Structure 1
Amino acid sequence: MTLRVLFLLCCVFSLPVVATPLPVPDQGPALRIQGSNTIGAALSPALVKGLMEQQGLHGVHSEPGESANEQRVLGRTRQGQTIRVDIAAHGSSTGFSALKNATADLAASSRPIKDSELVDLEPLGDLKSPGAEQVIAIDGLAIILNPQNPLTTLNTEQLAQIFNGDISTWEAVGGVGGAIQVYARDDKSGTYDTFKELVLRLRGKPLVTSAKRFESSEQLSDAVSRDPQGIGFIGLPYVRQAKAVAIVDGDSHPMLALNSLIATEDYPLSRRLFFYLPPSNRNPWAKALVDFSQSSKGQSIVAANGFIAQQVQAMAVEPRDSMPEDYQAIVRDAQRLTVNFRFEEGSASLDNKARQDLQRVVAYLKAHDKLDKQVTLVGFGDAKNDPQRAALLSKLRAMAVRRELVKNGVVLRDIRGFGAQMPVAANTADEGRIKNRRVEVWVY
């Protein structure tokens, strides 16, 4: 890879954690979580176990539920009472349906809530509000091949054509092996929704009807690793024995699904994992799990389960000839933090993740004595007809982040705007333009 990442420093920022004992329900589960298989297969149970252990419960363990991809986590109080949390992992859309039907307290989703779901759940409150929409981890969709496949790079246009069936042989993309066999998650999967949004829908292409579909991430990955002609997409923790390839989107450089590139969401197929907590929900276990997930302990569990935690770290970046000279100067002298600030669609306001990341960044700067002129903000944007306007807008985005940091006692060293240079996504659709509108944080 052209980007050599060395993680040097780590600061764990602790958001509020459970301080008082949670109530024991008279009957039934203490908490019901439904939704994403990516989250529900391992991450949700691990977070629930962590919360139970923090609560002082004994004998914490999980058992299979009534159906496939369902489980319950159990623990005992000192008085011998059993606490149970039910987890069903049948796909992100099922989580929002369960909230509507009052059969879940939390929805786990590996994609943002859709506008139609937002309207449908309006009686429960605004699920896009900062308290309701909680980013608990970052994940990357890896494009996986059989380990013996010699290909190392594919672009998103090729992916769309392969998964649509327009490209049906490996030779058509410079490989060998004859016919391509496509593997995909099922229609209820947030992983599939994300792939459809990032790759297929943007190019108006449906999934090829011959694709082999899976509800289980593990089974899909293992099937691709056994098939010399196979290709599939999977959440980062489920690459297993398969081979991941580097991805190019538009004019971006090839990027592997590396932790550093996923943490900053530069990797073309990176995505956020969410808990959605309805404002109307009064279950204290639901709020406690959300808070625990954002705590240092919770984020450590995120990392232990193969996802990317939101703990702020500094990394050294290797200069590339394709970088602007002024940017290379920053790269040579400073280290980049593993966070990008992004904005709400069609707005100059920071999105919900950025609001959380502000506090994490401030905590990092305080812990490492970098509050006084040790930080440079670097803004980027999407292409405009006038390059000077693009440069100005990118600097204005950096200034929006500066205003928030100044409120927390940070004195900036410099603010730079590089316009539409160094895109990380194609500018041909709203999703790519939003991704390119970003602010990086560099520390000296």
Structure 2
Amino acid sequence: MTWLRAAALAALSVLAPATGAHAQDITLSSRDGKVEISGTLLGFDGEFYRVDTKFGELTVDGSGVTCDGPACPSLTDFVAEITLSGSSTMAEVLLPALVEGFALRNGLQTHRETLDQAHFVYSLHQTRRDAPMARFTFHVTNTDEGFADLLANEADIVMALREIRPGERERAQEVGMGDLTEANRARVLALDAMVPVVAPDNPVQRISTADLARVFAGEITNWSDLGGPDAPIALHLPTAGSGLAQGVEDRLLGPARVPLAEAISRHTRSSQLARAVAADPFAIGIASFAETGTARALTLTGPCGFSLAATRWTIKTEDYPLTSPMFLYLPARRLPKIAREFLAYTNSSAAQIVIRRAGFVDQSAELIRMGAQGDRLANAITTAGEETPVEELQRMIATLSPMARLTTSFRFETGSSRPDAQSRSNILSLAHALETGAYDARKLVFVGFSDGEGPAQGNTRIARKRAEAVRDAVLNAVETAHPKSVEIGIEAFGEALPMACDDSDWGRKVNRRVEVWMP
């Protein structure tokens, strides 16, 4: 039977977990009654059954069978159930805005119901009088709890403010959820950043990343050491299991090789942290860029004199060193059709507008003219010397001045040639733009830059190889034929245009990049 062959071939795949009543025994019979499969219903997505049988776990097309048993779902009144768990920053504003945007685009009505402090539900209806066709249930916790819920089969989608950790990835593979680092399992939904914030009347305006790490390690305890008043520093961070707090440990304290201080006030919501810091003139916290509230963000500096503030452009380009992509993680199981449509919508241009209006940084490409990049050029002039002569700077300016830089940039994991998470997302986004003709009759120039470690000529060669590798990755990701109407170029200027000081791992990472420029 065709449906049975399909079931056997699909035995390695999985569907969304069963919801409502506890999973129970069912019997699936072919239309002619000659073949039956009995087992425990594990899930139904409106199209396919997932059943645990004596043959193992099988996935069966519902159109080819009849179902008998108390757990059999209704094929006509099916309600898609999607559960999201994780980051409160994403659950409180971003995802609800996207659910409402998705419903509006598809002519659906939404109804929100608060279950308790940590749970709420969005139901989608054809009209207000109709029964729901889908329910999006949100568990407002943190990134740690989101992954725990996924591994326990209590969530379909994780909302995360950090990348999945090796232990979580291994456990997901062990329980049959596939590799959550694959492109179709991990996606960047929007962009954020970890921003040091103080009260508006705090006189300190800037702080180096090294000093920021020492502050949160408890090594700097008085504002006078940072050019402020003679007063003790009060530390604030999100709750320990949140992706933002873990990002502080992994990306700020880890490279500095210092432990986190013990005397820290913790907050379950980034918005609560910002309010607490804004009310205390001697407090400092690290908050989400989207939720700084009335607190004031400090500009990050380096010992070589460079400075970088968190803005929409510097976050999009990853020029700001503490960027924090916002992830959705999906297991290797089939989600209901409306969930798949919603996930496709989150990549659309309409969704990028919703993301921006919700206060987060979207991923739509923008052009930055040379005239708006004064700080970058000042940095280049400041660091020019024997390794980067004036002639090389003049060549760079002559090449790039007639063009504008796309915010779509590419950086690499520390100590690796592998693009980092945001850059892997950018590869897919740029490939999609090429497929849809967004750059037809235009020229894209992939421009490589390096850090200042080693000889300048060697760095320029490495930068060119990185530019070529990113170009190849983008073109390989194009699913249709190679776009003949787009001219592709390669350039490299090595260490001629640094973004940060080279005296730290994060500074060198910021400087090792591939940019995209357009005439």
The reply to whether TM is greater than 0.5 is: yes
Shift of 1:339: 1.2
- The answer to whether 1:117 aligns with 2:168 is yes
- The answer to whether 1:417 aligns with 2:493 is yes
- The answer to whether 1:357 aligns with 2:438 is no
8 Å Cα contact 2:115-2:121 kept in structure 1: yes
Shift of 1:142: 1.6
**Alignment correspondent of 2:471:** 402
Greater RCO structure (CA 8 Å; 6+ sep): 1
**Alignment correspondent of 1:318:** 373
| CA distance 1:93–1:427, shift in 2 (3 Å) | farther
Which of residues 21, 24, 30 is equivalent to 2:81?
30
State TM-score, norm by structure 2.
0.74
Distance 2:502 2:143 in 1: 26
Structure 2 counterpart of 1:77, which letter?
Answer: Q
Shift of 1:421: 4.9
Aligned length: 418
State TM-score, norm by structure 1.
0.86
Question: Counterpart of 1:130 in 2: which secondary structure?
Answer: coil
8 Å Cα contact 2:237-2:245 kept in structure 1: yes
8 Å Cα contact 2:209-2:300 kept in structure 1: yes
Deviations 1:301-356 (A, max 9, x none): 11111111111111123343332433333453221111102346634568531322
| CA distance 1:435–1:112, shift in 2 (3 Å) | farther
Distance 2:153 2:282 in 1: 44
1:208-219 equivalences under 5 Å are 208-219=261-272
8 Å Cα contact 1:105-1:283 kept in structure 2: no
**Alignment correspondent of 1:51:** 102
Which of residues 328, 346, 349 is equivalent to 2:397?
328
Deviations 1:282-313 (A, max 9, x none): 33343223211111121111111111111111
Which of residues 251, 265, 268 is equivalent to 1:198?
251
Distance 1:45 1:251 in 2: 43
Moved more, 192-201 or 227-236: 192-201
Which of residues 73, 79, 89 is equivalent to 2:140?
89
| CA distance 1:90–1:330, shift in 2 (3 Å) | farther
8 Å Cα contact 1:134-1:290 kept in structure 2: no
Question: Counterpart of 2:113 in 1: which secondary structure?
Answer: strand
Distance 1:348 1:273 in 2: 19
- The answer to whether 1:140 aligns with 2:193 is yes
**Alignment correspondent of 2:121:** 72
1:7-18 equivalences under 5 Å are none
8 Å Cα contact 1:312-1:361 kept in structure 2: no
Deviations 1:6-30 (A, max 9, x none): xxxxxxxxxxxxxxxx889967762
- The answer to whether 1:377 aligns with 2:453 is no
Distance 2:284 2:400 in 1: 36
**Alignment correspondent of 1:300:** 353
Distance 1:263 1:52 in 2: 27
Deviations 1:161-185 (A, max 9, x none): 1112111111101112511111110
Distance 1:235 1:314 in 2: 25
Structure exhibiting the larger radius of gyration computed from Cα positions: 2
Structure 2 counterpart of 1:210, which letter?
Answer: A
8 Å Cα contact 1:169-1:177 kept in structure 2: yes
Moved more, 161-170 or 394-403: 394-403
Distance 2:293 2:78 in 1: 40
Moved more, 169-178 or 314-323: 314-323
Moved more, 376-385 or 41-50: 376-385
| CA distance 1:380–1:322, shift in 2 (3 Å) | same
8 Å Cα contact 1:57-1:76 kept in structure 2: yes
Distance 1:106 1:261 in 2: 28
Question: Counterpart of 2:96 in 1: which secondary structure?
Answer: helix
Q: Percent identity at matched positions? A: 27
Is there any run of 5+ residues in structure 1 with no aligned partner, and where?
1-21
**Alignment correspondent of 2:20:** none
Is there any run of 5+ residues in structure 2 with no aligned partner, and where?
1-45, 48-73, 381-392, 476-481
Distance 2:90 2:262 in 1: 27
